Amino acid sequence: MNKKFFFLLFLLSIYSPLKAQIQLSKSADVSIVTAGPGEELYEAFGHSAIRIKDPVLNLDLIYNYGMFDFNQPNFYTNFAKGNMIYSLARYDFKYFIASYRRDSRWLKEQILNLNQQEKQAYFTFLENNALPQNSNYRYDPYFDNCATKLRDITKNVLGDKVFFNENAIEKGLTFRELTNHEIPWNSWGTFGLNLIAGTKLDEQATFEQYMYLPDYVYSSFKNATLFIKNQPRELVKQEVVLLSFKEKEAKTSIFNPFLIFSLMALLGIYITYKDLKNDKRTKSFDFILFFVTGLIGCILVFLWFFSTHSTAPNNFNLLWTFAPNLIVAFLLLKSDQKKWMQKYLFILLSFLLIIPILWIIKIQVFPITIIPLLILLFVRYFYLSKKLLTFKV
C-alpha cells in the first residue's frame, strides 16, 4: 500500500517536467480565449485565458489565470489586506467550455499567427508557470489579473516583434471610467468599487493598462501586428465563435443604492424638520448617522494604510465617511454637549463642501449614488451646528 502511494507521488512529481519537454507539432495552435460577462460581480468584466491545441498529440489545454479558492486559509482576511492569491490552472479545454455553456456565456477564440518556434515558446512558458511552485500569484484587479497576464506573456514570448495598435481604441479614459463602463452605475457593486478606491482610479490609463479588461485584450489582439524580418502580418490569423450566447445584460436591483440612499435622506431630512419644529434632537438618529459613517471611514482608513490594495490610498471618500465620527457617535448620546462639538461640525461641513470641488476638477470622481447621502449629511450637520448647544436638557 505504501509503495503504491509513493509511486503515485513519484509519477505526479515528474508529470509536469516531462510535459514541459513535449515538442508541439506543426498542427498546433495557440489561442486567446475571451469570455463574456457573467451574473456575479467577479464575472461582470468577462474573462481571458490561453488555449493550446495540438490534434497530432491529442492535446487541448486551457491555461486559466483566474482561479481562486474561497476555502484558502484566511481567505477573507487576505482579501481585506489585498493579499488575494490567484492561481494558474491548466486543464482540458472541454471542461472550460462546458462551464461557460452551462452559464450561457459567449466564448470567442483568436488563433494567433505564430511560427513553430513561437508556439513552442508559449507552451514552454505556460508549462513552467503551471508548475506548483510557480502557479500562484498575488492578484490585483487592475494591474495583475487574468487579462493582463495574457498581455505580459505575449510581450515576453514575442518581444519587440509584436505591436499593439493603440489608435484602434478610445484614448484618455481613466481606470474608473473604464470600470464604470462595464457595470451599471446604480448597482451595489459599482458603489462598493468606487467607495473603496481612491485617486489612483482617476488617473488616465495607458493603452496597455486598458488590457486589465478582457474586452480590451480581445480588441487589442484583434488589431495587433506581428513583425517578422520587418514584414508585418496580423497577430490573429483566425477568429472562431465557440459559444454564441447573447451577452448577459447587467441587472440593477429594485433595491438599488440610489433608491435606498434617497429614502434614507428623505427620512433623515424629515426627522431634522420635526426636530427643528419641536426644538429637540433625536439622539438615536444622530448616533446611527455618525456611527455608520465613522465605521465606514475606519474601514477605508484600514484599506489605505494597512492593506496592499493598489487603489485604496488617497481616498477622499473619507471626507464624508469621517472615521472620528465613530467616537463622536457615543458622545452625541449625551444631552449636554461641549462647545468644541460646534467646531467639529463646522469641520464636517467644510469637508462636504470640498467634495464637489474635487469632483468637478476630477481629482476624484465619487459614486453618483452618494448624492442623497451628502445632502442628508449637510442638512443634519448644519442643523446640529446651529442648535446643538441650545437644546433644553
Task: Round to whole Å and give the CA distance between 275 and 152.
Answer: 60
First to last CA, the chain: 82
Task: Round to whole Å and give the CA distance between 220 and 148.
Answer: 12
- Per mean pLDDT, which of 181-185, 277-281, 354-358, 389-393 is the most reliable? 354-358
Residues 207-259: pLDDT tens digits? 999 999 999 999 999 999 998 877 899 999 999 999 999 887 777 778 999 99
pLDDT of residue 123: 96
pLDDT exceeds 80 at position 128: yes
pLDDT of residue 79: 63
Residue 76 pLDDT grade (very low, low, confident, very high; cuts 50, 70, 90): low
**Residues 6 or more apart in contact with residue 72 via CB below 8 angstroms:** 78, 85
pLDDT of residue 318: 97
pLDDT of residue 46: 93
Residues 53-75: pLDDT tens digits? 999 999 999 999 988 766 666 65
Q: Which triple of cell numbers denotes residue 260?
A: 435606498
pLDDT exceeds 90 at position 40: no
pLDDT of residue 248: 76
What is the average pLDDT across 136-154? 94
Residues 293-308: pLDDT tens digits? 999 999 999 999 988 8
- Pick the more confident residue, 169 or 379: 379
Residue 49 pLDDT grade (very low, low, confident, very high; cuts 50, 70, 90): very high
Task: Round to whole Å and give the CA distance between 288 and 108.
Answer: 49
pLDDT of residue 353: 97
Question: Are the CB atoms for 27 and 57 separated by under 8 Å?
Answer: no
Residue 18 pLDDT grade (very low, low, confident, very high; cuts 50, 70, 90): very low
Residues 79-124: pLDDT tens digits? 666 678 889 999 999 999 999 999 999 999 999 999 999 999 999 9
Average pLDDT value over all residues in the chain = 88
pLDDT of residue 6: 36
Q: Which triple of cell numbers denotes residue 365?
A: 470622481
pLDDT of residue 75: 57
Residue 9 pLDDT grade (very low, low, confident, very high; cuts 50, 70, 90): very low
Nearest 5°: phi and psi at 119? -60, -45
pLDDT of residue 228: 81
Residue 312 pLDDT grade (very low, low, confident, very high; cuts 50, 70, 90): very high
Residue 13 pLDDT grade (very low, low, confident, very high; cuts 50, 70, 90): very low
pLDDT of residue 249: 76
